[in-house]
Amino acid sequence: MGRLLRALGARRKRPRPFVRCPWPKSRERRKIGAIRKLIRGLPRDEIAFYADEMDVDLNPRLGLGWMRRGRQKRVLTPGNNQKRYVAGALTIGSGKLTWAFGARKSSDLFIAALAALLRRYRRYRRLHVIVDNFGIHTSKKTRALVEATEGKRMLHFLPPYSPQYNRIERVWKQLHDNVTRNHRCATIDELVKEVDDCLQALSPYPRSTASLRPVLSSPVADSGSAI
C-alpha cells in the first residue's frame, strides 16, 4: 500500500486544522477583492502592510527534526512556561519587516508595532495595515489611536478565520521552523534574542536567503528516550 501511495504522489504529512469563515463565500470574495484592489491602486505616497502577532513560548514547540537512525532527540522543557509576544508587519512590495516585543498580547503591543511603522515610514501620507479581527486590533484603545492620526494610519480587516490571506503568517512559520521548534534556549530573554535575530535575517521577506530554507537550530540529536 505504501508503494502504491508513493507512486500516486501521496506523502505522509500532518493534517492542518482550520475554522471555516462564517461569512457567505460571496461576502468573503468581495472583501478580499476590495483589499487586493486597494493594494494594486496604492498611490506613490501611500504604503500597505500585513500585520499580526505571534506567541513566543519558553516551553519548546515539538516538531520534526534530523536524527541518527536508532536515536531519538530529547528536548528539555523548563516546566514552568514563560511567554513573550511579537507584533510584526510585512511591507507589501518591499518585504521589509517591522516588529515590537511585549510581555502581554495586548492593545499596547499592537500600538507599539503601529508606532514603529509610523516612525519608519513617516514620509508616507497614509499607512494601510491589513489585520484580522483579533480583539487588540479592534479595541477602543487601538481605535482611538488610529483616529487620532486623522487618516495617517488606516486598518483594514480580513474576513474572520482567514489566516491564509495574511501573508505575514508565512513569516511566523519560518520563525517556528528556524527558532521556536525544538529550541534549547534556557531563558525567555535568550529565546527572544534568537527570534529578533531571525526576523532581521528574514527581512526582506521572501527575498532574503534565510527565508528560502529552514535552518536546523541544533546539531544532529543526542540519544535518549521520548519526552
Distance separating alpha carbons of residues 73 and 225, to the nearest angstrom: 8
Nearest to 48 by CA among 38, 56, 60: 38
Locate 190 and state its grid cell: 535568550
pLDDT tens for each residue of 117-147: 999 999 999 999 999 999 999 999 999 999 9
- Contact between 168 and 91 (Cβ < 8 Å): no
Higher pLDDT, residue 218 or 158: 158
What's phi and psi for 155, nearest 5 deg?
-100, 140
pLDDT tens for each residue of 77-110: 667 789 999 999 999 999 999 999 999 999 999 9
- Contact between 90 and 97 (Cβ < 8 Å): yes
Distance separating alpha carbons of residues 78 and 127, to the nearest angstrom: 41
Distance separating alpha carbons of residues 62 and 75, to the nearest angstrom: 8
Long-range contacts of 201-208 (CB under 8 A, 24+ apart): 202/97, 202/171, 202/174, 202/175, 203/95, 203/96, 203/97, 204/91, 204/94, 204/95, 204/96, 204/97, 205/90, 205/95, 205/97, 205/170, 205/171, 205/174, 206/95, 206/170, 207/95, 208/95
Strands in 126-131's sheet, in edge-to-edge order, are 97-102, 83-91, 46-57, 126-131, 153-157
- Contact between 88 and 51 (Cβ < 8 Å): yes
CA atoms within 13 A on the CB side of 55: 9
Cα-Cα-Cα-Cα dihedral sign, residues 177, 183, 185, 186: positive
pLDDT tens for each residue of 147-192: 998 889 999 999 999 999 999 999 999 999 889 887 788 899 999 9
Q: CB 65: neighbour CB atoms within 10 A?
A: 15
pLDDT at 225: 27
Domains in the chain, please, with CATH? Answer: 46-64+79-212 (3.30.420.10)
The residues, any chain, with a CB within 8 Å of residue 224's CB and separated by 6 or more, are 71, 72, 73, 74
pTM: 0.81
Window from 3-12, 21-30, 165-174, 195-204 with minimum mean pLDDT: 3-12
pLDDT tens for each residue of 22-64: 999 999 999 999 999 999 999 999 999 999 999 999 988 755 5
